[in-house]
Structure 1
């Protein structure tokens, strides 16, 4: 079965397998000398981790899993924090901003934690990164730029940069504005007087000893010091390439906004004598206004926000799909993501293996896809919570669900788990937008007809199917087939208070005929006879 699955994966057009095949071609003769294929993701802890960070680790992990189907070569994932970077601006979404401004330019691991809980600002943000990666169950090794520089682990690669200093300058200078060329240096000394990461021209004195010379921009003193052991760091494009070389990185993806950076870093990587990693450039997530989400702005969604209103599987599903298409990331996308996820789960069992390998849930669950599907959609659950009102609680919602399920059917754990998400989402975001309008014109007579039809249905019929048929027939009578959309829109706006809604047969069956008739009566009471 493993060989059969491998053969199917080799031909699969699913993007994780397309990426994994790049790595297979990279090592046609088997495992590399270092013993494993190395995946890397990067994190800049100048701001709090957000879904963009989670996105990169998840997608990289999915490629790693796909490669494991194609090859027996071991793999390893490093989540690398650029925590030796100097703080360039104070994020908008952290406390004690005045204190942080006093430390601008210093490495993030040498800046006090504005939250007052960790050794430094970087230690705080690194802890947050590890926490949300651990909560999802990622397998990774955390790596700190500060620790790698200070321990000397990068020293030999740094000597390589100093040996090829002029060639690296030849790559970088043509990409810079004229005024930036005058001050650019691949190597950034850490000022021994102030602790600030200096953006100054540097002269290489002795590449093997790692000695450099620069002029102090504050007092004009000519300084000579080491570029090794954490006394200096590299400009980030050079740093990226150096890290690929020092660690032997085989795969790293990046956002579309870093395409030029990937190009320059790849050139430098080759100058340093190594092959650049495989990878691809994914499109960026946008907030509800179409702007790129940013750690410093804190726009878009945090991981905590998504997990307040939807399960982590729905987030993984949203992230997996169409990585090369820009997508908005805000609260409003969560309900659809939940229902699309469960639709894919429902499809999975009956699909042949080649389709299963293209189904997002296969990659989200590493082939261990759930077998049960909630009998009620999340959208329908939201509508139920909506009509129950602002004071709806989980027990009340579950009582309605129990009445809807077949007699004697056990509670559904997957559906039960969705109830708190629906209540929270409705309370915090949907309830303030709902406004039931009074019916008017033909809507009044159509609602009266629906009420009479519901009264005649009784409780013995197949509720959802019978009710849906009645709703449809009343719509044809009063609106005609060509205007049925207007009929359903009227139902949503007058009974539910929204422009969109569920299949009314399913909703009325869930909410109950008597309760639904009371909704109709309440709507009709707002009209003038």
Structure 2
């Protein structure tokens, strides 16, 4: 354990780099609260999505890394800001007219349009918890409504009242652009109207620190005095974020790059309340196929459900692990590569020493309990097999797979079985509509005829490397320079794509006789037709 910890303290894997930043906060021992607190935030005005998964998955990776380099206990708090007022009716829910009647109520008082829970906030919180449980995350759930009502924030809220002017000094300069008109009306406190239950954005007219109250004016003109404790008010979200960090002693939180200015303000507010701000980590945003930022409201890019229809959650975790500080396209075409890279890392892990394992993404994906890969055929190869075989289900692929790997079966190779099912779905949904076969030119035709002839005489069995050498030799014999032009021709004529698998491996999987027949179809123009 000591050697592993020493290696972790030197590892350049980003979760360990982040974990060491957290450890520096408590170099002399555990904090007074007895644990290190990691937090993620969730806005339950919408359903949990792929960004929610990414934030919890990445934070969990840092938490596990911290637990390897330190004996200080940890907690992960998934916080739902469900006391926010409903500002607009979502477009993807039923009973929208009824919801419109509940505008400005806290989300936990908005009627559930689905009719399954006490409120819209409760519905989305339940969805969040089911979502996190599905992936086996270890976390504690926290509700803003509950924390405010139970008084868990009371002490911090009284400090906000006491330091009201300081917080206004922090916030007011930030109210530029569309928020500039709020400079004269802004208050960090949002009273919950005892008349309507609405969360009100109104000025604070009077403050009484001794009594712990504020005075504001209702829309009907009546002045009302309410305590800032016990859930009678909530804070604007930026002060709320900073107050939460201070009240709970949050040590680490991630957020998207678009929230950098907000996080900086919240950190200042946290310090103004007398507590150190957490260690913060901003990650880059995901882009769609056109390079535009993915938006929940636009529905562009790839959803969580989309990914899991075609690949495992572990492959998505790998995508989240890789280069969190780099903007990445999150679209369907990244899935096959992520699947194969995940299994490449699994296979590499078996032969690595301790230091190399700590730098392997699968260590962080699985928290050190790394399984063996049973994917003996790459996902990209399965896609091509589905293409040429016209398979409608995974059972059709298994007929080819068993010939290539006779010891493999669905029970003994669950990764392969799942991937075969995913590959058929992915091929029919994305590959088949985009295939564009072409006829070979004269040199390509001669080379393919030569390849077919050599395969008819082949006596080397299903040795993928030997078959690859054979294909390679044919390309050289017919003067292809660079040789990738030869392989590109094979892919475009036989598979209808400009990229493809190692062709020798493809022949071994699909079969020599079957490949000869495929070449003959390509030469006859049947595929292009």
Q: TM-score range by the shorter chain?
A: over 0.9
Describe the shift of the 1:498–1:345 C-alpha distance in structure 2 as closer, same or farther (beyond 3 A).
same
Give the equivalent residue in structure 1 for 2:186.
Answer: 184
Give the equivalent residue in structure 2 for 1:511.
Answer: 510
Q: How many residues align?
A: 522
Query: Within 5 Å, which residues of 2 pair with 1:198-217?
Result: 198-216=200-218
Could you tell me whether the CA contact under 8 Å between 1:49 and 1:295 is conserved in 2? no
Please state if 1:91 is matched with 2:90: yes
1:329 to partner: Cα distance: 1.2
1:409 to partner: Cα distance: 5.7
1:487 to partner: Cα distance: 1.6
Moved more, 225-234 or 271-280: 225-234
Give the equivalent residue in structure 2 for 1:284.
Answer: 285
Give the equivalent residue in structure 1 for 2:501.
Answer: 502
Give the equivalent residue in structure 2 for 1:267.
Answer: 268
Give the equivalent residue in structure 2 for 1:466.
Answer: 466
Q: TM-score, structure 1 length as denominator?
A: 0.94
Could you tell me whether the CA contact under 8 Å between 1:479 and 1:487 is conserved in 2? no
Cα deviation digits, residues 82-117 of structure 1 (max 9, x gap): 011112233343334343333332211111222232
Report the secondary structure of 1:115's partner residue: coil
1:408 to partner: Cα distance: 4.7
Give the equivalent residue in structure 1 for 2:343.
Answer: 342
Separation of aligned partners in 2, 1:189 and 1:466: 75
Could you tell me whether the CA contact under 8 Å between 1:338 and 1:378 is conserved in 2? yes
1:373 to partner: Cα distance: 4.6
Give the equivalent residue in structure 2 for 1:476.
Answer: 476
Query: Within 5 Å, which residues of 2 pair with 1:257-406?
Result: 257-389=258-390, 391-405=391-405
Query: Within 5 Å, which residues of 2 pair with 1:63-74?
Result: 63-74=62-73
1:448 to partner: Cα distance: 1.4
Give the equivalent residue in structure 1 for 2:158.
Answer: 159
Could you tell me whether the CA contact under 8 Å between 1:50 and 1:301 is conserved in 2? no
Separation of aligned partners in 2, 1:155 and 1:334: 47
Could you tell me whether the CA contact under 8 Å between 1:99 and 1:114 is conserved in 2? yes
Report the secondary structure of 1:80's partner residue: strand
Separation of aligned partners in 1, 2:110 and 2:429: 36
Cα deviation digits, residues 136-185 of structure 1 (max 9, x gap): 11111100001111122211211111111111001100111231212211
Cα deviation digits, residues 40-79 of structure 1 (max 9, x gap): 1100111111111111111111111111111111111110
1:378 to partner: Cα distance: 0.6
Please state if 1:79 is matched with 2:78: yes
Give the equivalent residue in structure 1 for 2:429.
Answer: 428
Separation of aligned partners in 2, 1:264 and 1:50: 26
Separation of aligned partners in 1, 2:333 and 2:91: 23
Moved more, 482-491 or 407-416: 407-416
Please state if 1:8 is matched with 2:10: no
Give the equivalent residue in structure 2 for 1:53.
Answer: 52
Describe the shift of the 1:208–1:42 C-alpha distance in structure 2 as closer, same or farther (beyond 3 A).
farther
1:301 to partner: Cα distance: 2.5
Describe the shift of the 1:255–1:116 C-alpha distance in structure 2 as closer, same or farther (beyond 3 A).
same
Separation of aligned partners in 1, 2:272 and 2:42: 25
Could you tell me whether the CA contact under 8 Å between 2:161 and 2:207 is conserved in 1? no
Separation of aligned partners in 2, 1:429 and 1:87: 38
Could you tell me whether the CA contact under 8 Å between 2:205 and 2:217 is conserved in 1? no
Moved more, 234-243 or 287-296: 287-296
Moved more, 134-143 or 482-491: 482-491
1:354 to partner: Cα distance: 1.6
Report the secondary structure of 1:457's partner residue: coil
Q: TM-score, structure 2 length as denominator?
A: 0.94
Describe the shift of the 1:485–1:93 C-alpha distance in structure 2 as closer, same or farther (beyond 3 A).
farther
Give the equivalent residue in structure 2 for 1:19.
Answer: 18
Could you tell me whether the CA contact under 8 Å between 1:93 and 1:297 is conserved in 2? no
User: How much is the aligned-residue C-alpha RMSD, in angstroms?
Assistant: 1.8
4+ residue segments displaced more than 6 Å: none
Cα deviation digits, residues 360-401 of structure 1 (max 9, x gap): 111111112123452211100111011122x52211111110
Could you tell me whether the CA contact under 8 Å between 2:374 and 2:414 is conserved in 1? no
Separation of aligned partners in 2, 1:219 and 1:319: 50
Moved more, 482-491 or 249-258: 482-491
Separation of aligned partners in 2, 1:272 and 1:327: 37
Cα deviation digits, residues 268-315 of structure 1 (max 9, x gap): 111111111112111112222222223333333222221111111101
Separation of aligned partners in 2, 1:284 and 1:97: 30
Separation of aligned partners in 2, 1:125 and 1:298: 18
Give the equivalent residue in structure 1 for 2:136.
Answer: 137
Describe the shift of the 1:113–1:440 C-alpha distance in structure 2 as closer, same or farther (beyond 3 A).
farther
Cα deviation digits, residues 311-343 of structure 1 (max 9, x gap): 111011110111111111122111100111111
